[in-house]
Amino acid sequence: MFRMIEDVLPPEAVAELVAIAAAAQFVDGKVSNPHSRVKNNQQLHEPQPAERAAQIVARALLGNREFFDIAFPKAIAPPLLARYEPGMNYGLHPDAAMMQTPSGALRSDLSCTVFLADPASYDGGALRVQLGSGEMRFKGKPGSAVVYPSMTLHEVEPVTRGQRLVAITFIQSRIADPVERDLLYELNEVAALEGNNMAPENFSRLQAVQFNLMRRWTDHP
Ligand SMILES: O=C(O)CCC(=O)C(=O)O
Ligand SMILES: [Fe+2]
């Protein structure tokens, strides 16, 4: 499932992240993927500002109802600020299945980019997700986020002007299977939208289906 979520971060949070990025040192993005031959960006590596940035973005995502409903998050990797200057890109790649985080290993089911720069302020730099012989391209406004399956091949197109600043993170979902996750999201949405129009006894039966699918499909702790 591919979802753009608007206004994950309020303008003040975007401004704080932009200020953190402006004041901090960025390093070659290869620090976290030393063997990558396609990663050509920069990332924030100074512990204190990186921690503050991660906290702002993680809190906003986990507090966002739409994100919660779509992702069924069990754990998220500390969001990382990444920067692309003219000439930088991140060539076509899949995201690793397992990642180490301070709170343990995480299986990456969903990937997320939170956009922090005004799309008019840079050229290029779209996130392009390959879908067979088709594609989806995302270049969101500041504070918006795109959530997409980590199993896709995707790339960040070369930036040719300005600076692309984003926060990126990876999410382990309580529902590992993408088809099951999307089915339950749809069912929950329809139940939330139409439940009040149903006879109460039918709504209870529908809820039993929602809850029992959740029991069957979620990872056991
Ligand atoms: O910068 C982005 O939007 C995505 C970067 C990416 O694909 C990654 O870090 O794995
Ligand atoms: Fe990626």
Residue 200 CA, ligand 1 centroid: distance in Å: 45
Q: Residue 221 pLDDT > 80, yes or no?
A: no
- pLDDT, residue 33, reads 85
State the average pLDDT over residues 102-108.
Answer: 95
Beta bridge partner(s), residue 43: 27, 82
Domain 3-173 indexed as CATH 3.10.180.10: no
Report residues whose beta carbon is within 6 angstroms of any ligand 1 atom.
82, 90, 95, 113, 127, 154, 156, 166, 168
Detail the residues annotated as belonging to a binding site for Fe cation: 93, 95, 154
State the average pLDDT over residues 17-36.
Answer: 93
Task: Please state, in angstroms and as integers, the Cα–Cα distance from residue 140 to each residue in 6, 16, 51, 59, 159, following that order.
Answer: 8, 18, 24, 20, 15
Residue 221 CA, ligand 1 centroid: distance in Å: 29
Residue 162: left if φ>0, alpha if ψ -120 to 50, beta else—which one?
left
Ligand closest to CA 77: 1
Detail the residues annotated as belonging to a binding site: 93, 95, 154, 164
Q: 190: pLDDT confidence band, cut at 50, 70 and 90?
A: very high
Residue 208 CA, ligand 2 centroid: distance in Å: 37
Candidates 52, 56, 54; CA nearest to 13 is: 56
CB-count burial class (<10 Å; 0-12, 13-18, 19+) for 66: middle
For residue range 43-101, list pLDDT tens digits in order.
998 999 999 999 999 999 999 999 999 999 999 999 999 999 999 999 999 999 999 99
Mean pLDDT of the chain: 96
Q: What's phi and psi for 182, nearest 5 deg?
A: -70, -35
Candidates 191, 208, 178; CA nearest to 108 is: 178
Locate the domains of the chain by residue range.
3-173, 178-217
Residue to mutate (ligand 1; options 127, 129, 144, 169; most atoms within 8 A of CB): 127
DSSP codes, 87-116: T-EEEEEPPPSEEEETTEEEE--EEEEEE-
- pLDDT, residue 38, reads 93
Calpha distance 163→83 (Å, rounded): 7
Atom 10 of ligand 1 has which residue's CA nearest to it? 95
Calpha distance 108→92 (Å, rounded): 17
Residue 82 CA, ligand 1 centroid: distance in Å: 8
Calpha distance 106→84 (Å, rounded): 26
Which residues have a Cβ under 8 Å from the Cβ of 107 and sit 6 or more positions away? 97, 98, 172, 176
Residue 101 CA from chain centroid, whole number:
16
| Assigned token pair, 215 | 């029991």
Which residues have a Cβ under 8 Å from the Cβ of 145 and sit 6 or more positions away? 4, 5, 8, 61, 67, 112, 113, 114, 115
* 201, containing H or E segment: helix 200-217
Q: Is the ipTM of this complex over 0.95?
A: yes
